[in-house]
Each structure stands twice: as structure tokens, then as C-alpha cells.
Amino acid sequence: SASSLAFLPQPLRPTEDDWAKMLAAHVHLGTKNLDNKMIPYIWKRRSDGLYIINLAKTWEKLMLAARIVVAIENPADVCVISARPYGQRAVLKFGQYTGANYMAGRYTPGTFTNQIQQQFQEPRLLVITDPRTDSQPLKESSFVNIPTVAFCDTDSPLRFVDVAIPANNKGKQSIGLLYWLMAREVLRLRNVIPRQHPWDIMVDMFFYRDPEEAEKEAEAAAEEAKAIEAPTEAFGGVAPGGFGEVPAGSADWAQPGTQEWGAAPAAGQEWGAGDATAAAPGTWDQPAGFGGP
């Protein structure tokens, strides 16, 4: 695959890290069905029936699509659409970093053709995730002559598609990586980020996240925060049995005593007989044991 991209300029050629990312995200894995017009993009067929996509063709079309996006003067005139849930976060992040307009979820029919509609738009370029799930905006783009770029799997129909990017458009890692690669190349061509340094935005930001998994992660983070705060509260005397709690029955050292340490003993009293004197009945003038009334 690398030798087939020798015609590309050196800055546009993929690095070893780019090849590794595409293989790890299964961008090259197609389906068991093959459309007649997708034959030029197929490398071979596995023993289990899956068609393998030529990643050199995928990279070549990605660079072409990025150059088309950069050719649009106003970034807001580029519309990115994904009805597939796995691509909704990817199109949102693509629009955030490139300035393109995005539509995630259900597409309202007539957005490109019905001028009376409140959400009417006239984009100059359309980028869709799947020609089959996004068939309605693809069909309307043909009515108003909007050029279309689409991520196409081995079984995707290519009617009304102007630039087909052969790739796996059914996996969440694959879709996120494709939009991340295209957004990075768009920013490089606009000279927003340098080509010599890696992009500081992680590819994980473009991946789909299950809402239930996100809630579980948030709850786990909250429990960890509570566990970290608990010892601090105990040290400050809030929790029972902490360092700041005074044990029951213990005397307060700051409380002044009834007798000074330096005071002389009373008349007729020995230093060692304090406890016996305090326990026996009588007065200070008449100690116990020396007679009585």
C-alpha cells in the first residue's frame, strides 16, 4: 500500500502511526457483500467471505476530500451529516474544529429543497457518513447540484456520490478515526496546525460513547472523590473517633486547677497524706485519727 502512494508529495503521505491507527480501528474491514462500483477499491477477499478494502485508496480519497473542504472559502458552507449513532459525535467534533455545519440524528426532509422551511440551508459541499442511512440528504443534494463526499463500505450504493472514500462506515472506532484524519488534514492545509508536530486532540474525542457507560464513569468518579475527601473530614474532627475529638471523662489541660503547685502545705498535713486526708471525714484543724468529740 505504501508503494502505491509514491506519486503523492512527501507531506501528504501517511506515516507508520497513521497505518497503525487505521488497522487498529478496522478501517480496512468491509462486509460480505460487494457493490459493482466498489470493485476498484477492494484488495482481496478473506476466507470467511469479508472483503478487504485497499487502505492506499482510502488515504488517497481522504486527502482529496480534505482538499475539497479547504477549497470552500466559508467553512460554514460545508454540511456534515450522520444519521448513524456511531457517527453523531464524530460530525459534531468535526464541525467544532473545522467550523463546518453539522447535522446529527434525524435529517428533516426538505432542508435543501423546501425554501419555506425554517431550517432551509444552501450548503456548497455535503459530507455524509453512509449513503444508505443518509439517503434522503443525498437525494436532495442531487436536486440542487450540491457536490457530495461520502464514506462508502463495500456494499454502499454510489449513486449521486461524487467522491467516495472506501472505508468501514459501521464501526464506531473506524468512523471516529476517519473524521479525525480528515479534520487534521483540513487544519494542516489551512496552516492552523503544523505538519511536523502531532495534533494535540486525541482521536478518542471523535469516538461514540454510550450514554449508560458515560453515566457509570461519572458515578465511579464521584465515588472516588468522596473516598478521597473522607479521611480529610476525619482529620478535621468531623468524623467520630478523629484526632480532634476529646475523649469522655478526660480533664481539660487549659482549665485552671484549684491548688497551685508552688503553694505550701496546710498546717498539720504531710506531703504524702493528701489522699488519706481527703478521704477521711473531719476538718483541717482536727485531722482524723487524733481523737474525737
Q: Which helix (H) or strand (E) holds 141?
A: helix 135-143
Asked whether residue 26 carries a pLDDT value surpassing 80, the answer given is yes
Count other Cβ atoms within 10 Å, centred on residue 82. Answer: 29
Residue 158 clears pLDDT 60, i.e. is over it: yes
pTM comes to: 0.70
Percentage of the chain lying above the pLDDT 70 cut: 74
Summarize pLDDT for 119-152 with one digit per residue, the tens: 888 889 999 998 988 888 999 999 999 999 999 9
Q: Residue 120: count other Cβ atoms within 10 Å of its Cβ.
A: 13
Please, are residues 176 and 208 in contact by the beta-carbon 8 Å criterion? yes
Residue 107 pLDDT exceeds 70: yes
Tell whether the model's pLDDT for residue 220 goes beyond 90: no
The span from the CA of 284 to the CA of 124, in Å, is: 110
Could you tell me which of 217, 218, 131, 223 has the C-alpha nearest to residue 169? Answer: 131
- Please tell me the predicted confidence (pLDDT) of residue 277: 47
- 263 CB contacts (<8 Å, ≥6 apart)? none
pLDDT at 222 over 80: no
Q: Cα dihedral angle (12, 17, 20, 26), rounded to 10 degrees? A: -60
